[in-house]
């Protein structure tokens, strides 16, 4: 016999995230401080529990044409196959080819925050990404097709009543291909995801939503495969003479 309980472990992970977000929401007064603390909670969740081939950071994303995205609260990116991660004085810049997913982190979710998250996601998806043929012992594989970049929103609670009802679905339905949100978590209420087959949103209310969202994200990443082989020479044209 053992006193270990998997259900309690998984529930405890969600409870910890929800409690930390609630403390941030209720205890910190300055909006910027509150926002930074919320981002940190989500980043630490992903940094701790995602497989090590992935990393999560707050960052800007750049392409080989020198175009930058907006600053993104949570970027999930590759560190196994992607070189060229620039860090300076707390700022991180990531090449577009290495990105798997991007999230906007907010205290609460409403129509304007969904629209804002869509704008942030679109600023990443519109970047140019390179993909080189892959050499191997017997020849060369063709350049890998670009993988989809998942986009989403993370929050503690919802301004809507019901919290995860039709108003959320209506707001999510406003997204175009570049700006659509694929999944998100509202820790106090549940999570949502875009069914890749039906292309319809599915709402998962209640339960241990932070843990359920984490598992859903990992599952999505597993089906993404690996990022394309970056053409690092395409970035070299920006070297100063």
Q: Residue 205 pairs with which residues in a beta bridge?
A: 190
Q: What is the reported pLDDT for 120?
A: 97
CA-CA-CA-CA torsion sign (66, 72, 77, 79): positive
Residues with Cβ within 8 Å of 88's Cβ and at least 6 positions away in sequence, in order, are: none
Record the pTM.
0.91
- What pLDDT, on a 0 to 100 scale, did the predictor assign at position 30? 64
Catalytic residue, from 39, 73, 78, 193: name it: 73
The active-site residue, picked from 104, 157, 182, 193, is 104
Q: Note if 144 is an active site residue.
A: no
- Return the ∠ at Cα 96 (arms to 90 and 101), rounded to 5°: 80
Looking at residue 32, its pLDDT comes to 64
Report how far residue 142's alpha carbon sits from residue 138's, in angstroms, rounded to the nearest whole number: 13
Each residue's pLDDT tens digit, 43-53: 999 999 899 88
- 70 catalytic, yes or no? no
Q: How far is CA 40 from the centre of its chain?
A: 13
Q: What is the pLDDT of residue 26?
A: 75
Do residues 63 and 57 make contact, with C-beta atoms less than 8 angstroms apart?
A: no
Residue ranges for the chain with pLDDT beneath 70: 1-2, 29-34, 241
Identify the pLDDT of residue 3: 82
119 assigned to active site = no
Q: Which of 63, 97, 106, 193 is catalytic?
A: 106
**If 0-12 CB within 10 Å is exposed, 13-18 middle and 19+ buried, where does residue 186 land?**
buried
Burial of residue 69 (CB within 10 Å: 0-12, 13-18, 19+) is buried
Domain edges within the chain: 7-130+146-231
Class of CATH domain 7-130+146-231: alpha beta
224's CB contacts (< 8 A; 6+ apart) are 100, 147, 148, 150
Q: What is the DSSP letter of 77?
A: E
Left (φ > 0), alpha (ψ -120 to 50) or beta: where does 117 sit?
A: alpha
């Amino acid at each position: 016999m053992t006193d270990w309980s998997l259900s309690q472990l998984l529930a405890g992970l969600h409870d910890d995230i929800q409690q930390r977000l609630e403390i941030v929401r209720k205890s910190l007064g300055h909006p910027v401080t509150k926002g930074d603390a919320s981002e940190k909670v989500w980043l630490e969740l992903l940094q701790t529990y995602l497989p090590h081939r992935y990393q999560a950071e707050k960052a800007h994303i750049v392409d080989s044409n020198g175009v930058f995205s907006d600053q993104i609260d949570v970027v999930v990116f590759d560190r196994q196959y992607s070189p060229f991660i620039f860090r300076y004085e707390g700022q991180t810049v990531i090449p577009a080819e290495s990105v798997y997913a991007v999230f906007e982190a907010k205290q609460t979710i409403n129509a304007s925050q969904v629209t804002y998250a869509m704008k942030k996601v679109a600023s990443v998806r519109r970047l140019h990404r390179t993909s080189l043929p892959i050499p191997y012992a017997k020849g060369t594989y063709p350049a890998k097709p670009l993988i989809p970049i998942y986009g989403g929103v993370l929050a503690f609670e919802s301004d809507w009543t019901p919290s995860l009802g039709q108003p959320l679905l209506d707001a999510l339905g406003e997204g175009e291909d570049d700006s659509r949100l694929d999944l998100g978590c509202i820790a106090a209420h549940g999570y949502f995801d875009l069914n890749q087959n039906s292309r319809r949103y599915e709402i998962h209310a209640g339960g241990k939503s932070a843990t359920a969202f984490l598992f859903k994200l990992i599952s999505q990443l597993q089906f993404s495969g690996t990022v394309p082989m970056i053409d690092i020479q395409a970035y070299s044209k920006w070297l100063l003479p």
